[in-house]
Structure 1
Amino acid sequence: MDSESAELERGRNGSFGRTSSAASSLRRRSINLSGVLPLQTDEDIESEIVSQAGDIGDRALHSNSGSECNSLRRSLDIGPESQVVIPIPEDALNRVHPDSQLPLVKVTPLSVHALVYSSERSPEIRKEMPESLKLFSCLTHLAVLGIIGKFFGPDVIDVTSDKSILYLDLPSNMVGSFLMGWFGIVFKSDISGLSDLLAIGLTTGFLGSLTTFSGWNQKMLDLSVEGQWAFTFLGFFIGLFLAAYSIIFGVQTANGFKWLLQSQRRSSRNVSNSTSDWKGNTCKCQMTVLVILLIILGLLWGVSAALEKSKFDTGSSEAQLWLACIVGPIGVWIRWYLARLNGRGLGRSGLLKWIPFGTLIANVSAACVMAALATLKKAVKSQTCNTVATGIQFGLLGCLSTVSTFMAEFYAMMQSARPWRAYAYATIMILVSFALGTLIYSKH
């Protein structure tokens, strides 16, 4: 039991480990639940785990309810000091075994291999806001943090440019991937313990908007149109290499920092080892945060609209930035909604379940629209068209596409028993986006 607990602890800390062996161990431990949930193969479980590593969209709003966890614990007759780990695939959560009278719970994992139910949940944290209000609050989190992500623009250091394989968005993609290792993998479960909506806002909203796949693809299209095919290939290769190693470095440093925190906690008996003591998922806390975020969102949109009105006629980069801040949240919302397709696969049989189709669709569609707007700017050649098109490219499409989530999924696949899937997924993402973008952009 100690070895299994250690293995699960490493999984929760963000070191995905070998997913196949973990899934096999978890499935064996849940063998007694066969009367409640139909068993899945190791490959099915691994595919769902990997494809949901980055984001699962609005499906996450139906999870982590304290009362639901307590209900499941009672139905399984779990003792007060015990802890059970149950891998529950998304598709199985909507079904009840015909031979069982036990209730099933709608639970969806956010970023870890399995769901951990413990008796540490206190009664006062179980009351949450209604689902409709929680959805509205989640959209507000995504909008505010998405706008903040756009303020950290790509113009960071002088070694990057629009006409180089070190494309302008590379620093933002590297920083976003590094931070995804911290807040989207290692510390995501801890942040979720404080607030599920904050975890979604940080990863999907802030980090997803800080990074951009469509901008990266467009810069490579610009190089290919000029006939610089070698630079185009190197640009994709170096961009993928640096982003992948940024998230690896982020995971490693975050694990080291978390180990120091845990060592300090073990040395002090007065410090609680659980985040449930200060969890902010109560209805009162969520309502307070919602009001504050609505005020911030109103200010951000109001200031952006006022500055856009004053700067629009100049056609400056500032006018493009303020327009991007206005339309950016729309891109975040669309990408978050598409993320519900991750882990579902194709058709009722769930074909190719290991491919995160939500992220794939968001990035490819954003790259295509980005190429179309670039073609429009070259055709019209007016200041107004350039300002509007660039603002939409930087804001809406920059927020619709993401490298940080893409890298979280890539990292999960690399740590699985089938690491070749990471390269296959990256190849599909890049080739499809570049091929469709070339068909659109070459028409000018």
Structure 2
Amino acid sequence: MSLQEKSSAVVMEEGYRGTNDTELRRSVSNDRTSRATSSLRRRSLSLSHVQPSQIDDDNESESVSEAGDIGDRALHSNRHSESGSVCLFPSEDVQLQSYGFWGRDPVASKGISPVTPLPEEIISPLSTDAMISEDPTPENTIRLPKFFEYGSCMTHLAVFGILGVLTRYLLQKLFGPGLVGVTGDETILYLDLPSNMVGSFLMGWFGVVFKGDISYVSDYLLIGLSTGYLGSLTTFSGWNQKMVELSVEGHWVFALLGFLIGLFLVAYSIIFGVETARGFRQILERNSVCGITSSRRRWRVDSYKRHLVALAVLLLMLSSLWSIGGIQLREEFNSSSSEAQLWLGCIVGPFGVWIRWFLARLNGRGLGKTGLLKWVPFGTLIANVSAACVMAALSTVKKAVNTRTCDVVVTGIQFGFLGCLSTVSTFIAEFNAMRESKYPWRAYAYAMATICSSFGLGILIYCVPVWTRGYK
């Protein structure tokens, strides 16, 4: 080989390394708000036929839409390392170690910032196969059967969903007219406002900042905590129905203010949660010699035996919660207690969580084969709007029938099933991701589409029959 050929080879090799390193950095930044499956799919785009600006827009649109959840799509597209390990949502620290950035939070420490697209002349000659990095999953994890993965996910979702229903009920009683008296049925500070604020705040902690750390311990724990518990702790359908009920009495201004104040409070709740979680994370990293990774490695569910133990414990908890709920429902119903609706809600709540989790597979997909409007989380949108419509219809039925049995059954289904089917924590996580993206107007368009659709259909389904039939 001549000297000129050797020089050209060295230049090409250095250019490849620099490009690959920048691409990996961009992948780490995108993985903060998207699932591992989508980031792998993004890195495998045909770069030689797509403009860099188009790739960046598609990546951002997909990322903001998947900021909350992608449902069971992660199980269909999970990645396996050469050792056969499964990784639904690779943790942030594992990704950083694989890419050479040891133990730093790219957002909290601001060590890594979003990278602008590379010039087309640098990107286009590269092979996309070379850009797919080796899976960073630890070798001591195992490959689980599909039925085991689905069973673990649905069990975690059910148990944490019931816990979310119980927490929402306690917050209603604590801040409602009976104790503190901050919220009520006839005010713009609706009964579910405290639970929506608390759930949004916790989403900033466990669904954004510490998301990778929880996933490192157990992917199923992350699903149960974010989608199951926080998704069931917050409810969009209850929020929408209270505003519809204010409208049927002619309090249109209160209904409008209820939406504006509610959106403002939950939006700043997640911001406050993210900021406090970043500060707490920095304190932990400063005071820990080995970092956060070493302290959580002991708790990692990384063997088949540990997976079986975790699943057995969760199944025992689920059967206990359902059994207690059934016994209490029968006793409270016979004694004409108002708590009968709570226990019915605990029984039917997991079904709403499961449906919402399956619908989340539509997030980041867009419409049609071309992926139109990929930035819209259609799964979350459908779950919230459909739950609001069914809740309005059941409220109409309750007005028409007007019996105690109907009231208990309808209210229990509304509180449990529909309260878990709809969510504010996931909705506001997606809203916050859009607001911080390159197109912040998308956040307000998404919020307006969700609120206006739900409220408008609620007026048609609930208010019109009440006005025309004269229900009291």
Which category describes the TM-score, using the shorter chain as reference length?
Answer: 0.7 to 0.9
In the alignment, which of 220, 228, 233 is matched to residue 243 of structure 2? 220
Which whole-Å deviations, capped at 9, do the CAs of 1:323-351 have from their partners, x for residues lacking one?
A: 00000000000000000000001111111
Query: What's the Cα RMSD here?
Result: 3.5
Q: CA deviation at 1:368?
A: 0.3
Number of the residue aligned with 1:56: 70
Which whole-Å deviations, capped at 9, do the CAs of 1:243-293 have from their partners, x for residues lacking one?
A: 00000000000011111112223xx25875585665314322111100111
Return closer, same or farther for 1:437/1:380 CA change in 2, 3 Å cut-off: same
Are 2:431 and 1:410 equivalent residues in the alignment?
Answer: yes
Number of the residue aligned with 1:193: 216
1:123 match: secondary structure: coil
Counterpart residue identity of residue 319, structure 1: A
Counterpart residue identity of residue 59, structure 1: R
Counterpart residue identity of residue 55, structure 1: D
Are 2:155 and 1:140 equivalent residues in the alignment?
Answer: yes
Number of the residue aligned with 1:47: 61
Number of the residue aligned with 2:99: 83
CA distance in 2, matches of 1:340, 1:36: 28
Number of the residue aligned with 1:332: 353
Are 2:445 and 1:424 equivalent residues in the alignment?
Answer: yes
In the alignment, which of 124, 129, 149 is matched to residue 144 of structure 2? 129
In the alignment, which of 363, 368, 389 is matched to residue 347 of structure 1? 368
Q: CA deviation at 1:30?
A: 5.7
Task: Indicate the percent of aligned positions where both proteins have the same amino acid.
Answer: 57
Return closer, same or farther for 1:61/1:385 CA change in 2, 3 Å cut-off: same
Are 2:408 and 1:390 equivalent residues in the alignment?
Answer: no
CA distance in 1, matches of 2:49, 2:326: 54
More off after superposition, 159-168 vs 269-278: 269-278
CA distance in 1, matches of 2:361, 2:321: 28
Is residue 44–residue 129 contact of structure 2 (8 Å, CA) maintained in 1? Answer: no
In the alignment, which of 313, 319, 328 is matched to residue 334 of structure 2? 313
CA distance in 2, matches of 1:327, 1:37: 47
Is residue 238–residue 388 contact of structure 2 (8 Å, CA) maintained in 1? Answer: yes
1:124 match: secondary structure: coil
Q: CA deviation at 1:315?
A: 3.9
Counterpart residue identity of residue 157, structure 2: L
Return closer, same or farther for 1:37/1:191 CA change in 2, 3 Å cut-off: farther
Return closer, same or farther for 1:219/1:327 CA change in 2, 3 Å cut-off: same
Number of the residue aligned with 1:209: 232
CA distance in 1, matches of 2:433, 2:128: 36
Are 2:394 and 1:373 equivalent residues in the alignment?
Answer: yes
CA distance in 1, matches of 2:134, 2:206: 19
Return closer, same or farther for 1:361/1:32 CA change in 2, 3 Å cut-off: closer
CA distance in 1, matches of 2:62, 2:29: 19
Number of the residue aligned with 1:78: none
Is residue 315–residue 387 contact of structure 1 (8 Å, CA) maintained in 2? Answer: no
TM-score (norm 2): 0.77
Counterpart residue identity of residue 140, structure 2: E
Give the gaps of 5 or more residues in structure 1: 20-25, 73-80, 88-98, 106-114
Q: CA deviation at 1:41?
A: 1.8
Is residue 84–residue 116 contact of structure 1 (8 Å, CA) maintained in 2? Answer: no
Q: CA deviation at 1:84?
A: 7.7
Task: Give the greater-gyration-radius structure (CA).
Answer: 2
In the alignment, which of 166, 173, 182 is matched to residue 159 of structure 1? 182
Number of the residue aligned with 2:109: none
CA distance in 2, matches of 1:135, 1:35: 37
CA distance in 2, matches of 1:194, 1:37: 37
Return closer, same or farther for 1:435/1:231 CA change in 2, 3 Å cut-off: same
CA distance in 2, matches of 1:133, 1:58: 13
Counterpart residue identity of residue 137, structure 1: S
Counterpart residue identity of residue 378, structure 2: F
CA distance in 1, matches of 2:393, 2:338: 20
Return closer, same or farther for 1:194/1:375 CA change in 2, 3 Å cut-off: same
Q: CA deviation at 1:166?
A: 0.3
Q: CA deviation at 1:117?
A: 4.6
Is residue 325–residue 347 contact of structure 2 (8 Å, CA) maintained in 1? Answer: yes
Is residue 173–residue 210 contact of structure 1 (8 Å, CA) maintained in 2? Answer: yes
Return closer, same or farther for 1:213/1:32 CA change in 2, 3 Å cut-off: closer
CA distance in 1, matches of 2:70, 2:358: 8
Is residue 46–residue 128 contact of structure 2 (8 Å, CA) maintained in 1? Answer: no
2:333 match: secondary structure: helix
